[in-house]
Amino acid sequence: MEDSYIIKGGRKLAGSVKLSGAKNAALKMIIASLLFSEKVVLDNVPRINDVIELLHLIRALGAKADFISQNQVEIDPTSLNLNKVDLLYASKIRVSFMLFAPLLYKFANCYVPNPGGCRIGARPIDRIVDGMKNLGVIVKYNSRTGYYEAKMTGKPAGSYRFSKPSHTGTELLIMLSVFGKGKITLENCSHEPEIDNLIEFLNDSGAKITKKNSLVEITGVDKLAFKRPFKIISDRNEAVTYICLALATGGKIRIENIIPSHISVFLDKLKQAGAEVKEKENSLFFEAVESLKAVSVETTPHPGFMTDWQPNWAILMTQAQGRSTINERVFENRFSYVEELKKLGARMRFVENKVDKPQEHYFFNYKKNKRYIQTIEIEGPVKLHGGVLNIADLRAGASLATAALAARGESVVNGVSILERGYEDFVGKVSKLGGEIKKI
């Protein structure tokens, strides 16, 4: 199987990129479509490995789900006939645990394995299971089989307050509450724009959901009705990747169909670093400057600086003047790219960062007796050179490909199927910008 890129770096990438639909909205919308009792069509669905895997998984459950045109997916949930999620598919795709919602409504009980996904930390689903239990679902983990066994004896009801926010947790509990009893209240929820997009889709179809800051209220309805193909928002993470790619190679780029408010904190940081940002007619324009300034970031859930952006930011900072730090607060293992980048000459090191109240500072479940290294320091600017790089997780993958494109000489990037889990037509888009990249 072709799973590597050969990249000849050192060219200034320039041109225009039309963003694809957001991975982290499309996946949830596909699962939410199984809550309907009729066919649903989703528009602007990215053709990426994660979507393709999810469609396989859904078909394995008996439902029909496939692309009907380049970026439209049709889901027909009426033939859903299995309440046990296949272990192999589930291990490949983390959002598989969100199938609890449609399966419980269809079968009243279901079996869902402990989820897989990117290796960016322990990624437990304890808050999510706790939330389901609070809404009345009986959930038990069977350590012999590795499956969660869930049962719903009546309509979900009540309220839940997340101890710490969870993006997919918020979305799953919303889906679970759509047909709930009376009004269900969810507190301390996540704020990600993809959640708003999911709420918009469900409300468009007859659900009654309101969201104010971190409070979500859902009044149960009897059914969802499909009205028209629902258009998924464009991918803000893809936007950030291409912006960093253009700037790190000294080029310029126009990002089409972007919603600027979805990346406003990133834009603020870019401006602090001295980059030029211009906005015109649904597009953002960026042009490399002589020298960027080093700017430190710490990741937090939306509306903060998103964890998915920091690997891209790190590449940009290798080209900036001075020393910057990245403090990762959301996941406990999101620096898999660091040792790889050092192979290209990047000057980066891990630093121990003592914080006052780590249990509050970090969004993962901080354990007292465990050693965490959540901060890196980057010195720039450095001239990167080619090398052999191995991808361990999706966003790290995009940053390694970016580094290889910014570096002088040839690089081989291995494990690109991981990158292609989340980036549609990466090779095509980079080539259009003038990058020399080939899949082998």
Task: Pick out residues in 52-111 that bind ligand EPU (CB under 6 A).
Answer: 94-95
Q: Which of 126, 268, 276, 360 binds ligand EPU (CB under 6 A)?
A: 126
Count of residues that interact with ligand EPU, criterion CB under 6 A: 31
Of 32, 125, 202, 245, which one interacts with ligand EPU (CB under 6 A)? 125
Q: Closest separation between CB of residue 202 and ligand EPU, Å?
A: 16
Position 402 contacts ligand EPU (CB under 6 A)? no
Output 84 or 119, the one with its CB closest to ligand EPU: 119
User: Please, which residues have CB within 8 angstroms of residue 313's CB and are 6 or more apart in sequence?
Assistant: 244, 269, 297, 305, 326
Least distance CB 26 / ligand EPU (angstroms): 10
CA distance 250 to 291: 10
CB of 312 to ligand EPU, least distance (A): 12
Q: Residues 332-371 vs ligand EPU: string with x where CB under 6 A?
A: -------------------------------xxx------
Tell me which residues in 244-303 interact with ligand EPU (CB under 6 A): 301
Residue of 166, 318, 333, 336 that binds ligand EPU (CB under 6 A): 166
Q: Nearer to ligand EPU by C-beta: 235 or 319?
A: 235
Stretch that binds ligand EPU, among 126-134, 314-322, 344-352, 367-375 (CB under 6 A): 126-134
Least Cβ distance, residue 307 to ligand EPU (angstroms): 5
Return the range that interacts with ligand EPU (CB under 6 A); candidates 23-31, 101-109, 313-321, 432-440. Answer: 23-31
128 belongs to the binding site for ligand EPU (CB under 6 A): yes
User: What tokens were used for 257?
Assistant: 């169909």
Asked if 189 is an active-site residue, the reply is no
Q: Which is nearer to ligand EPU, 83 or 336 (CB)?
A: 336
Binding window for ligand EPU (CB under 6 A); candidates: 118-126, 145-153, 245-253, 373-381? 118-126
Q: On the CB side of 70, how many CA atoms lie within 13 Å of its CA?
A: 5
The 403-422 site mask, x for binding ligand EPU (CB under 6 A), equals -------------------x
Nearest to 132 by CA among 100, 165, 178: 100
Query: By CB under 6 A, which span of 66-74, 201-209, 304-312, 383-391 interacts with ligand EPU?
Result: 304-312
Among 42, 61, 80, 118, indicate the residue that binds ligand EPU (CB under 6 A): 118
Instruction: Show contacts with ligand EPU in window 188-217 (CB under 6 A).
Output: 190, 192
Q: Which stretch binds ligand EPU (CB under 6 A): 119-127, 177-185, 199-207, 224-232?
A: 119-127
Per the residue annotation, which of 110, 118, 189, 244 is the catalytic one? 118
Q: What is the CA radius of gyration of the chain?
A: 22
> Judged by CB, which is closer to ligand EPU: 164, or 183?
164
CB of 302 to ligand EPU, least distance (A): 7
Does 304 bind ligand EPU (CB under 6 A)? Our answer is no
Give the list of residues 6+ apart from residue 60 with CB closer than 8 angstroms, or none.
82, 86, 89
Query: Min. distance of Cβ 289 from ligand EPU in angstroms?
Result: 29
- Minimum Å gap between C-beta 97 and ligand EPU is 10
Q: What are the phi and psi torsion angles at 388 (to 5°)?
A: -105, 125
Let me know: does 150 contact 121? Beta carbons within 8 Å: no
List active site positions. Answer: 118
Sites of contact with ligand EPU (CB under 6 A): 23-24, 27, 94-95, 118, 121, 123-128, 166-169, 190, 192, 301, 306-308, 330-331, 363-365, 394-395, 422
